[in-house]
Structure 1
């Protein structure tokens, strides 16, 4: 469960050829500009953002993802959705238990706080 009574739900994409599994997963998530995932009722809270994958690294069981661009949130309920979508995608792709997301060099929670 994440904020506002929501749950994070895994989805699949079409065939993706990649050399970096984390880059492929995060880029696929960021490239999807549809607010809704088909008729499922699932919401893509990142649809209005203009973010690009820069790099990733894994150390001590944590994947760190660096993104650049503009993060846009629909408000208080979207903030935890955005964090969960990015973190769980990164953790799954990197096969680790923790994720740290940086946007333009700053942690995502800081970006979403409006500072």
Structure 2
């Protein structure tokens, strides 16, 4: 499975730049048996409550959130993922980190080019802008 974390302040060297000079970086987990690759990848990402991912030094901007996977669907080239729970952001730099971790993980798992992330039925960008 491919899960995405954040390289702080590396100016896009380790992966696509996502804001505040950070990059989003793919990591690989061991083999997993799953019915839905999107569910397995998203659940693995959301269950990790460590602020730093292993010894990689990559940041997990979702560590303070208490989110759970509900469902996903693919329409055309877009995967829509429904989550539920509490979203916690440290502010203006954490917002793009959170969105990128969720979006890139969902897109790779679904094999799609775009992701729409909903938290309790509300687009994640709207949820974060309310903070």
Match of 1:46 among 44, 48, 62: 62
Larger proportion of strand: 2
- Count of aligned pairs between the two proteins: 115
Give 1:15 deviation, angstroms. Answer: 2.9
Structure 2, unaligned runs of 5 or more: 1-16
Q: How far off is 1:7 after superposition?
A: 0.5
Task: Name the SS of the counterpart of 1:99 in structure 2.
Answer: strand
Aligned residue runs from structure 1 range 46-65, under 5 A: 46-65=62-81
Residue of 116, 120, 124 corresponding to 1:100: 116
CA RMSD of aligned residues (A): 0.9
CA distance, structure 2, for counterparts of residue 39 and residue 56 of structure 1: 31
1:73 to 89, 101, 126: 89
Give the helix-richer structure, 1 or 2: 1
- How far apart are residue 14 of structure 1 and its match? 2.8
* Equivalent position of 1:4 in the other structure: 20
Greater mean alpha carbon deviation, residues 20-29 or residues 35-44: 35-44
Runs of 4+ in 1 over 4 A off after TM superposition: none
The corresponding residue for 2:5 is none
